[in-house]
């Protein structure tokens, strides 16, 4: 199986291909041009570099969110177009999980924090053992303080939202490390392979997942909005 992975959830654009759990190649760019301008040319360049053609791809994986609204839709529309034209399945993966997956060589708590704007962050926690990881906290949209309050001691923090929660985290006296990270298309492809093999579910008719924080009669809840 050849899986093409796409991530457009943030300011960077990343595409990658994997086969049977091995990343064959990937390309990442964060230039001035919008994702909609760059994505097809980046896919074409990646396939050329890896000696593949579109007809060789048998599965599409795409970061389904959370992330930037317009950017997510670019990735999803491209993924659907390729999947429909080839008659192959599409699977979505969590952008926060893909972010954490690049740090799998570490052991312990990995906390993904992404700037959600409006003084919120997208947030999730995973437990890694050096070989794999399990989810501890589901993807959520939280205030900076609420996110800081949910970070376990001795965690590794990654994502462009880390700097937003640090002032509140220092008040708790927990120990942590930070690691720079971007979501890699090759990891998205790898995760897509794993998920499709486990669930055999084609999500070609699904949309991106948007997470928002909702205040209802003084209580806070979180909605997952699927476009």
Note the pLDDT tens digit of each residue in 152-172: 999 999 999 999 999 998 888
CATH 3.30.420.40 holds for 3-94+182-207? yes
- The residue ranges of every structural domain in the chain are 3-94+182-207, 103-179
Return d(Cα 42, Cα 222) in angstroms, integer.
35
- The answer to whether 3-94+182-207 and 103-179 have equal CATH topology is yes
pTM of the model: 0.90
Q: Kindly state the DSSP code that residue 151 receives in the 8-state scheme.
A: P
Give 12-52 pLDDT, tens digit per residue: 999 999 999 999 999 999 876 789 999 999 999 999 999 99
Q: State the pLDDT at residue 221.
A: 39
Q: What's the CA gap between 6 and 39, in Å, rounded?
A: 9
- Counting residues of the chain whose pLDDT is more than 90, the rounded percentage is 79
pLDDT on residue 213: 56
d(C-alpha 79, C-alpha 59), whole Å: 10
103-179: CATH homologous superfamily?
ATPase, nucleotide binding domain (3.30.420.40)
Whether the per-residue pLDDT at 219 is higher than 70: the answer is no
Q: Is the pLDDT of residue 55 over 50?
A: yes
At 223 the pLDDT is: 47
């Amino acid at each position: 199986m050849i899986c093409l992975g796409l991530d457009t959830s943030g300011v960077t654009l990343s595409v990658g291909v994997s086969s049977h759990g091995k990343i064959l190649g990937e390309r990442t760019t964060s230039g001035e041009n919008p994702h909609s301008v760059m994505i097809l040319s980046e896919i074409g360049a990646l396939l050329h570099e890896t000696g593949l053609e579109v007809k060789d791809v048998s599965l599409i994986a795409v970061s389904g969110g959370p992330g930037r609204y317009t950017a997510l839709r670019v990735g999803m529309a491209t993924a659907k177009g390729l999947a429909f034209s080839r008659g192959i399945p599409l699977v979505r993966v969590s952008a926060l999980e893909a972010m954490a997956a690049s740090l799998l060589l570490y052991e312990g708590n990995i906390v993904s924090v992404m700037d959600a704007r409006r003084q919120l962050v997208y947030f999730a926690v995973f437990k890694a053992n050096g070989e794999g990881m399990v989810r501890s906290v589901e993807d959520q949209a939280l205030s900076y303080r609420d996110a800081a309050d949910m970070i376990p001691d001795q965690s590794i923090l990654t994502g462009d939202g880390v700097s937003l929660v640090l002032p509140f985290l220092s008040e708790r006296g927990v120990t942590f490390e930070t690691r720079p990270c971007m979501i890699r298309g090759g990891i998205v492809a790898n995760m897509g392979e794993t998920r499709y093999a486990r669930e055999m579910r084609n999500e070609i008719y699904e949309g991106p997942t948007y997470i928002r924080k909702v205040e209802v009669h003084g209580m806070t809840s979180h909605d997952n909005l699927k476009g």
